[in-house]
Amino acid sequence: MITVDLHCLNLPAGSRILDIGCGSGRHVAAAYALDQAIVVGADPDLGDLRQARGRLCFHDQCGAHGNGCWALSAADITRLPFADGAFDLVICSEVLEHIPDHRRAMAEIVRVLQPGAPLVVSVPRRWPEWICWRLSPAYRRMPGGHVRIYDAHCLVRQVEAHGVRHWRTHFAHGLHTPFWWLKCLLGLERDTLAPVRLYHRFLTWDIMQKPRLTRTLDRWLNPLCGKSVVLYFRKPAAVPTATREPT
C-alpha cells in the first residue's frame, strides 16, 4: 500500500532517500526500485525493521530493484543520526500523528533534507480520523497510537515554518476508510468477526492484484473519503554566496 507518488518527484538516478518511520518498509521498497537509488529506512521499532529487511532482501532476490543500495537504522525522528542535507528526498508517511513533540520532528526531517529537495508528509485525513475517534475511545488510547488529529491547512503552515514550501496535495486509500470505521465500530481486537475478516481479505486482494476496477474506484473515492492526506514540500535551493573579485 503505497501512499506517496514517487514518480511525480522526477528524482535523478542515484538519489539518496530517507523513509523515516518506515515500518515494514513499503516505501523503502518502492524507492529501492528507482534507478540506482540509495535508500535508508529508519524506525525505532526493531520488529518493524526486521520486516523491512525481509521485504528488501526479497526485492534483491527477485531483481525488483533499480541497482541501488539500501540500509536500515533504528532511529528516533526527533534525534536523527544523519548530517544536515544528507538526503535528496525525505518521506514521513503516517508518522507525525504518533509523535508528542511533532515540531521537533518536523525540524529534524527538514534539517536532513538537501536544499532544493522534496519532502513528502502524509497523515490521517481529518474527518475520517475524527469518526474513528468518535466510534472507538480505544482507538485513540492504544499504546503508540495517534495523539492528535491534523487539519491539513494547519499542518502545511506548521511544516512550512521550518523552511520548506508546500506545492501539492492529494488524498489516498479511499477503500481503506470504511474498513477502519468498521473496526472501530465492532471492536479493534475483534479481527475474527466475519465483516472485518472479509473486508481485510478484500483489501489484501486489492493490494496484491491491483485490478483495474478497484484502482478506479479508489481514485474516485480518494477526494471524497481518502484516509490519508499527502502533502508535498520543497526545501528552497541554497543561494550561492557572492564572491568578491580580488583587487
What is the crossing angle of helices 152-160 and 102-111, to 10°? 50
- Check residue 247 and give its pLDDT: 44
Global pTM value? 0.92
CB 157 within 8 A of CB 128: no
φ and ψ at residue 120, rounded to 5 degrees: -120, 125
pLDDT digits (tens, 9 = 90+) for 15-35: 999 999 999 999 999 999 999
Give me the sheet containing 165-172, strands edge to edge.
Answer: 69-73, 38-42, 16-20, 89-93, 118-124, 228-234, 165-172
- Angle, helix 177-186 to helix 126-135, in steps of 10 degrees: 10
Work out whether strand 16-20 and strand 165-172 pair parallel, antiparallel, or are unpaired.
unpaired
Question: CA angle, 25 as apex, 217 and 96 as ends, to 5°?
Answer: 80
Query: Distance between CA 234 and CA 199 in Å, rounded?
Result: 37
What's the chain's length in residues? 247
Q: How far is residue 32's CA from residue 189's CA, in Å, rounded to a whole number?
A: 34
CA distances from 227 to 25, 80, 125, 213 (A): 19, 28, 6, 19
Residue 129, C-beta contacts closer than 8 angstroms, at least 6 positions apart: 97, 146, 149, 227
Query: Cell 544536515 appears where?
Result: 84
- Encode the chain (247 residues) as per-residue pLDDT tens digits: 899 999 999 999 999 999 999 999 999 999 999 999 999 999 999 999 999 999 999 999 988 899 999 999 999 999 999 999 999 999 999 999 999 999 999 999 999 999 999 999 999 999 999 999 999 988 988 888 899 999 999 999 999 999 999 999 999 999 999 999 999 999 988 889 999 999 999 999 998 898 999 999 999 999 999 999 999 999 999 766 554 444 4
CA distance 132 to 146: 11
